[in-house]
Amino acid sequence: MSIQRNTAQRQIVLSALSCLSSQPTIDEIYAQIYSSHPSISRATVIRNLRQLAASGIIRQVSLPDGHERYDERTK
């Protein structure tokens, strides 16, 4: 696991994920963030979600239809 900086965007993404019900999609997470932080781009949200998942902080769930969902529970 690599050490990552704890950026403001990363905290916003984690906060949005914790506010949403089980395993939201990227679009659901982005909509949650956009309502209070419209300056954060969708690409920033996606990049942070994928980095957090790669580090084991959150879990990425890939569905057969190609969509990605994210879960703050890693176990």
Q: Which of 60, 11, 68, 38 is nearest to 19 (CA)?
A: 11
The reply to whether 3 falls in a domain is no
> How distant, in Å, are the alpha carbons of 2, 20, 32 from that of 26?
23, 11, 10
The reply to whether 2 falls in a domain is no
Domain of residue 21, residue span: 8-71
pLDDT tens per residue, range 7-57: 899 999 999 999 997 899 999 999 999 999 999 999 999 999 999 999 999
- State pTM to two decimals: 0.85
Q: Is the pLDDT at 3 greater than 60, yes or no? A: no
The domain that holds 27 is classified in CATH as 1.10.10.10
Q: Rounded to the nearest 10 degrees, how much is the dihedral formed by the CA atoms of 13, 18, 21, 22?
A: 90
Overall domain count for the chain:
1
Residue 50 class from Cβ within 10 Å (0-12 exposed, 13-18 middle, 19+ buried)? Answer: middle
